[in-house]
Amino acid sequence: MWSGTPLFPESASTMAPRVDALYFFLLAIAAFFSLLIAGLIVYFAVKFHRRSPDEVGARIHGGLALEIAWTVIPLMIVMVIFVWGASVYYAMARPPDETLNIYVVGKQWMWKFQHLDGQREINELHVPVGRAVKLITTSEDVIHDFFVPAFRIKADVVPGRYVNLWFNATKPGRYRLECAEYCGTRHSGMIGEVIVMDPSEYQTWLSGGSSEGSLASAGAKLFQDLACNTCHRPDAQGRGPVLDGLFGKTVQLQSGETITVDEAYIRQSILHPTAQVASGFQPIMPTFQGLVTEEQLLELVEYVKSLAARPETPAARPATGGPAPGEATPVKR
Amino acid sequence: MPSSTVLIPPRHYLNDGYGIKSWLLTRDHKRIALLYLASVTFFFFVGGAMAVLIRLDLATPAGDLVTDETYNKLFTMHGVMMVFFFLIPAIPSVLGNFLVPIMIGAKDLAFPKLNLFSWYIYVVGGLFTLYALITGGVDTGWTFYTPFSTVSSTTNVIPTALGIFITGFSSILTGLNFIVTIHRMRAPGMTWFRMPLFLWSTYATSLINVLGTPVIAITVLLVAAERVFHFGFFDPRVGGDPVLFQHLFWFYSHPAVYIMVLPAMGVVSELVAGGCRKPVFGYAFVAFASLAIAVLGFLVWGHHLFVAGESVYSAMIFSMLSYLVAIPSAIKVFNWTATMYKGSVSWETPMLYAYGFIGLFTIGGLTGLFVAAIAVDVHVTDTYFIIAHFHYIMVGGTIMGYLGGLHYWWPKISGRLYNEGLAKLSAGIIFVGFNLTFFPQFVLGYLGMPRRYHAYPPDFQVLNVLSSAGASILGIGYLIPMFYLMWSLRYGRLAGSNPWGSVGLEWTTTSPPPTENFAETPIVTWDAYDYHAPVEGHVA
């Protein structure tokens, strides 16, 4: 009956062996101390078993050397574990510079994936082997959690935020994808597969079936349809900041703080435009909350990102310089 | 030593009035302890019945027994009942209520009426939650994570939250009562460092109860308010933050783990000292470890949020603090084990539970090292590894401690001895059933089976069937003591004042004790667990 019953998960990402190594170290520590304590208890229970009804124990109250030993030695061991666990986690939390980006939207009870080239998938994610993949995730409703046991990665997918996670798959195959944060009735049905392919197969897969155009081009169309372009004009004559060359730059805010323009900032500027206004602009942009879906938001974000590649005109730098005269007083809400 | 000549005392707290009013209006801490015993036992079996249904359902990968909705309600109500209505109150309100005044040589707690009032609050809170259960249940998980609990769930969230809110006041008032009692009512000569260690851990627990419980009260109130008025504290669409809830929730609910396990640690200190007839090794270290756990326990809540979008550096700080809180627990385990060295070690039932506690708590604590290591936690959090880890602490720890204590002090509570053979048998069944239930779940968790899954891949069935088989054994193990303890009330041999040959003030008074506990206020001239001092009631 044990055949076919796995006892250890598959290891299919660059992170998996690093997590497993720490896990085995912890298993060794746990086994050693469990056996030590259990062994001592059994040994003492037999050796010092009460021999007569009136017998009392020896008059021992304690020993300072022992107390120090079993305080300091465990402390040193756990600090080693802490540093090890934190350093592997640090690598998990920092994606490499060059990644293949894929957007993930969780909703009760399915996973939706949007590739930059325009492919969309539900509950299946195709990725190439041997390449760092960054997932930019968000949720349409409640908190979900993106979990691929074979990759040893997991992150909560939180509404109202972009949470990133990354992996580099090492073996072609199909791996289980699960929602690990309880999300309601069909929580255990919110599952799927990550399909890791050889690069050539992946190219074939990519070229098949994409008729909708890239994510950025869908965003460009939406940018026109929502009339964003009336204010965000590339010639710096609009009422809003020029978006060309903006992504990844650091801009100054009205509050005096600075912020690096990333996916989360673009998202927030669309949904809560007055929350963090770039210096030199008036908080006049209306919110698009409720007018765009999470997926459309991602298209817009990707469109703005695609503008980063365009040549930056000198006038398109309102945020890094000081505010233009006459624009310094923001309209109070 | 039990001897054939022991007599039941003519006057004791159980025959001091017989009518229903003499119980429901009592101010005697011992009778209130028994009121709690009946009520926490009721909630334990309600919560346990749900656990049995969960495990039966998980015997097949498709979850054929109940629907998704019912399954989600089952694990939610199992958690709510067990955590808020059994594990948190059990040891303090049953054993603590019975023992705190007796162990310090007092006639009662500082505020006897408040003590009775606490029980009524507990019952009202419990009835609210039972009402929520009977009229449809709740499906948010015992953790009530937002925004699911605030905008998505259509079940009885508000009555359940109010039940928890109300019951919290019972914990706060009981904690307050214990703190004042321990400060103000110790008998002459009963200095802090002569107190039994059970009192140190009860004191530490009471501090957490008083300081932490208001936070969970506010948190569940915010959830209820958000459901009714849509304020948006936790709703990102209006600028709220769903993760804020998790910070508030765990700020109480992590210390609550120590509310559950610290009293059990106190019980085990008593069991080990009594079972070895020897002072607990390193008394002061064990006592201060309790306080260290109470303080550090408030600083580690963020380790529940490693995958919830916490910043890298706050995750590291919470990870390190979590390792620090492991040290006082380790100190306790080493000291209990060392106490057995050159002891007069008993193999009677209370000591069997103490062995069980130390073994299972050690595994629970060591697997805590896994989940405090951030990189490993990322993989195992929200899986069955976590389920197994905290059941080793709460069931392997708290319930073993509770049952051990109940068996140790049962002769004092009832005046009679239970059937030792049956008691040993059920302790063995519980130990085996527990490990069979929860050990496979560590393996399932590392394999990647998420918690709260009604259906799972067929590969995992063998391990799930083992776990379900263990749960049925465990269930039987818990039922047996119900019967022989009830039986002993009428037919058990008379215990006499000190059936175990232990020292401690509770063993110097009659079994059952008189309403005022002692014929005259004791004067304490000896340290705790002093088996060599010439005191009345001790054996040497």
Question: What is the tens place of the pLDDT at every residue in B166-222?
Answer: 999 999 999 999 999 999 999 999 999 999 999 999 999 999 999 999 999 999 999
pLDDT band at B324 (very low <50, low <70, confident <90, very high): very high
pLDDT band at B327 (very low <50, low <70, confident <90, very high): very high
Which of residues 311 through 330 in chain A touch B, CB cutoff 8 A?
Answer: none
* A115 reaches B (C-beta below 8 A): no
- What is the model's pLDDT at position A312? 52
Give every CB contact of residue B57 below 8 A, 6+ residues apart in sequence. Answer: B63, B64, B65, B66, B71, B74, B454
User: What share of chain B in percent tops pLDDT 70?
Assistant: 98
Check whether B301 has a pLDDT greater than 60. Answer: yes
CA-nearest of B81, B77, B74 to B58 is: B74
Give every CB contact of residue A327 below 8 A, 6+ residues apart in sequence. Answer: A280, A281, A282
Q: ipTM of the assembly? A: 0.94
The mean pLDDT value of chain B amounts to 95
For A115, phi then psi, to 5°, come to -90, 155
Can you tell me the distance from the alpha carbon of B146 to that of A288, in angstroms, rounded to the nearest whole number?
Answer: 24
Higher pLDDT, A310 or B200: B200
The partner residue sitting opposite A48, judged by closest CB among B285, B306, B344, is B344
- What is the model's pLDDT at position B539? 44
pLDDT band at A2 (very low <50, low <70, confident <90, very high): low
- What is the model's pLDDT at position B534? 58
Can you tell me the distance from the alpha carbon of B129 to that of B180, in angstroms, rounded to the nearest whole number?
Answer: 30
- What is the model's pLDDT at position B399? 96
- What is the model's pLDDT at position B189? 95
Specify the range with the lowest mean pLDDT, choosing from A20-24, A163-167, A224-228, B2-6: B2-6
- What is the model's pLDDT at position A287? 87
Query: For B391-408, what is the mean pLDDT?
Result: 96
Which chain B residues are within 8 Å of A187, Cβ to Cβ? Answer: 72, 452-454
Which chain A residues are within 8 Å of B344, Cβ to Cβ? Answer: 48, 50-51, 55-57
Query: For B4-30, what is the mean pLDDT?
Result: 89
Can you tell me the distance from the alpha carbon of A224 to that of A230, in angstroms, rounded to the nearest whole number?
Answer: 9
Which of residues 194 through 253 in chain A touch B, CB cutoff 8 A?
Answer: none
Check whether A331 has a pLDDT greater than 70. Answer: no
Contact assignment for B448 to A82 by CB distance below 8 Å = no
pLDDT band at A210 (very low <50, low <70, confident <90, very high): low
pLDDT band at A254 (very low <50, low <70, confident <90, very high): confident
* B431 reaches A (C-beta below 8 A): no
Query: For A284-298, what is the mean pLDDT?
Result: 87
* Strand order across the beta sheet in which A191-197 lies: A124-128, A191-197, A173-179, A144-148, A153-157
Which chain B residues are within 8 Å of A35, Cβ to Cβ? Answer: none
Q: Are the beta carbons of A209 and A295 closer than 8 angstroms? A: no
Contact assignment for A37 to B531 by CB distance below 8 Å = no
- What is the model's pLDDT at position A320? 40
A204-212: long-range contacts, CB 8 A cutoff, minimum separation 24: A205/A126, A206/A115, A206/A117, A206/A119, A209/A119, A210/A117, A210/A118, A210/A119, A211/A118, A212/A118, A212/A120
Check whether A96 has a pLDDT greater than 50. Answer: yes
Give the model confidence (pLDDT) of B207-237 as tens digits: 999 999 999 999 999 999 999 999 999 998 8
Q: Are the beta carbons of B247 and B308 closer than 8 angstroms? A: no
Give SS3 for B461.
helix
Contact assignment for A44 to B459 by CB distance below 8 Å = no
The mean pLDDT value of chain A amounts to 88
- Closest-approach residue (CA) in chain B for A294: B237
Q: pTM of the predicted model, to two decimals?
A: 0.91
Which chain B residues are within 8 Å of A275, Cβ to Cβ? Answer: 239
Query: For B495-514, what is the mean pLDDT?
Result: 94
- What is the model's pLDDT at position A109? 94
- Which residue type, as a one-letter code, is found at position B253? S
Check whether A315 has a pLDDT greater than 80. Answer: no
* B244 reaches A (C-beta below 8 A): no
| Å between A17 CA and nearest CA of chain B | 11
Can you tell me the distance from the alpha carbon of A150 to that of A174, in angstroms, rounded to the nearest whole number?
Answer: 10
Can you tell me the distance from the alpha carbon of B428 to that of B420, in angstroms, rounded to the nearest whole number?
Answer: 12
- What is the model's pLDDT at position A325? 39
Q: Which helix (H) or strand (E) holds B312?
A: helix B312-339
CA-nearest of B145, B149, B74, B390 to B256 is: B390
CA-nearest of B128, B35, B166, B37 to B90 is: B37
Query: For A21-48, what is the mean pLDDT?
Result: 97
pLDDT band at B340 (very low <50, low <70, confident <90, very high): very high
Give the model confidence (pLDDT) of A107-166 as tens digits: 999 999 999 888 889 999 999 999 999 999 999 999 999 999 999 999 999 999 999 999
Query: For A257-286, what is the mean pLDDT?
Result: 88
- Closest-approach residue (CA) in chain B for A72: B327
* B308 reaches A (C-beta below 8 A): yes
Domains annotated for chain A, with CATH where assigned, are 100-207 (2.60.40.420), 215-316 (1.10.760.10)
Check whether A264 has a pLDDT greater than 90. Answer: no
Contact assignment for A188 to B63 by CB distance below 8 Å = yes
Which chain A residues are within 8 Å of B379, Cβ to Cβ? Answer: 19, 23, 149, 152-154
Conformation bin of residue B170: beta by default, left when phi > 0, alpha when psi is -120 to 50: alpha
Query: For A23-50, what is the mean pLDDT?
Result: 97
Query: For B519-529, what is the mean pLDDT?
Result: 93
Specify the range with the lowest mean pLDDT, choosing from A282-296, B62-76, B85-99, B338-352: A282-296
Check whether B365 has a pLDDT greater than 80. Answer: yes
Can you tell me the distance from the alpha carbon of B116 to that of B529, in angstroms, rounded to the nearest whole number?
Answer: 31
Contact assignment for B327 to A145 by CB distance below 8 Å = no
Report the helix count and the strand count for chain B, using DSSP H and E.
16, 0
Contact assignment for A188 to B340 by CB distance below 8 Å = no
- What is the model's pLDDT at position A241? 87
Contact assignment for B281 to A88 by CB distance below 8 Å = no
* B219 reaches A (C-beta below 8 A): no
CA-nearest of B254, B271, B160 to B215 is: B254
Structure tokens that stand for B237 in this block: 């669409």
Contact assignment for A161 to B72 by CB distance below 8 Å = no
Query: For A216-235, what is the mean pLDDT?
Result: 87
Which of residues 407 through 426 in chain B touch A, CB cutoff 8 A?
Answer: none
How far is C-alpha B94 from the geometric centre of its chain's CA atoms?
10
Check whether B5 has a pLDDT greater than 80. Answer: no
- What is the model's pLDDT at position A209? 66
The residue behind tokens 């939250």 is B161
CATH for B27-507 (1.10.569.10, 3.20.20.70, 1.20.210.10, 3.30.830.10): 1.20.210.10
How far is C-alpha B449 from the geometric centre of its chain's CA atoms?
27
Can you tell me the distance from the alpha carbon of B229 to that of A91, in angstroms, rounded to the nearest whole number?
Answer: 43
Query: Where exactly are the structural domains of chain B?
Result: 27-507
Specify the range with the lowest mean pLDDT, choosing from A122-136, A281-295, B442-456, B526-540: B526-540
- What is the model's pLDDT at position B3? 47
Query: For A214-242, what is the mean pLDDT?
Result: 86
SS3 content of chain A, % helix, strand, coil (to 5): 35, 20, 45
- What is the model's pLDDT at position A83? 97
Helices B420-447, B461-491: inter-axial angle, 10-degree rounding: 160
Check whether A77 has a pLDDT greater than 80. Answer: yes
Give the model confidence (pLDDT) of A52-66 as tens digits: 999 999 999 999 999
Specify the range with the lowest mean pLDDT, choosing from A3-12, A133-142, B401-410: A3-12
